[in-house]
Amino acid sequence: MAGIHGQFVWYELMTDNLEGALAFYRAVTGWTVAAAGAGGVDYRVLSAGAAMVAGAMAIPDEDGAAGMRPGWTVYVGAGNTDETAAAIAAAGGKVLREPADIPEVGRFAIVADAQGAPFGIIAWSEPGEAPGVDIAPGRIGWHELFAGDEPTIFPFYEQVFGWSKAEGMDMGPMGTYQLFRTRPGEAVGGIMTRTPEIPHPFWNFYIAVDDIDAALARVTANGGTVVQQPMEVPGGVWIIQAVDPQGAFFSLVGPRA
């Protein structure tokens, strides 16, 4: 399992209207949906063609009562979930949900980095792949951390997961957009200091689409709200940021026709 340690391996939506959310993402991204629940949990797997990309489930009643809102969680692979959770705590992070087994799937935990950005870690029961980034429609094209403070958070991920810095992009008053690698080769994401209107640090990721303007139209036609209009980024692609009908934030990346 050490091969996936530090790699982005899964993405999970928790929502208060599962069927409504699934209908929205099917329409916007083209994902197909299949049931994969075990132990009485209604869990759905979202796929792009033959590739499983993400999962979705309803917010458990007890978590909803405690104030949990719809949202996406990014999962990073762990060679050993318990050891990685301990390393996160030792590096200044927090374990928000202690390691637990998912029958026939793996062992997971929910954690936060040293500045409070939450994410998941998981060790699969069976060997799995870490796809990196992929701009094919329906796949994950980029990862992004809105950090409490970009210059000081990277050592946490370097220590726990072995990540390395790539190019740093100067954004003027907004600081540096620091690209990073999770393994030798291409950058798979970027880190920036959150702006004042972002209430807390969090991980974001971008779902690839074939045409950003057509995708924007699908977002609004299906009840979503666009909060960042199309913006060109390096590589000849465009991004948008939006909120689904249940209130979960998400982002898309793709070319402009």
Give the mean pLDDT of 23-44: 90
Q: Does domain 7-124 have CATH number 3.10.180.10?
A: yes
Tokens representing 13? 């939506």
| pLDDT at site 1 | 45
| pLDDT at site 235 | 86
| CATH class in words for 139-254 | alpha beta
Per-residue confidence band for 240, with pLDDT thresholds at 50, 70 and 90: very high
Q: What percent of the chain has pLDDT over 90?
A: 82
Look at residues 234, 240, 232, 7 and name the one whose alpha carbon lies nearest to residue 119: 7
Tokens representing 241? 């940021």
Q: Which residues of 121-130 are buried (b: 16+ CB within 10 A; e: fewer)?
A: bbbbeeebeb
Q: Do domains 7-124 and 139-254 have the same CATH topology?
A: yes
| pTM as predicted | 0.94
Going from N- to C-terminal start, the domains of the chain cover: 7-124, 139-254
- Residue 39: is its pLDDT beyond 70? no
Cβ–Cβ < 8 Å for 226, 241 = yes
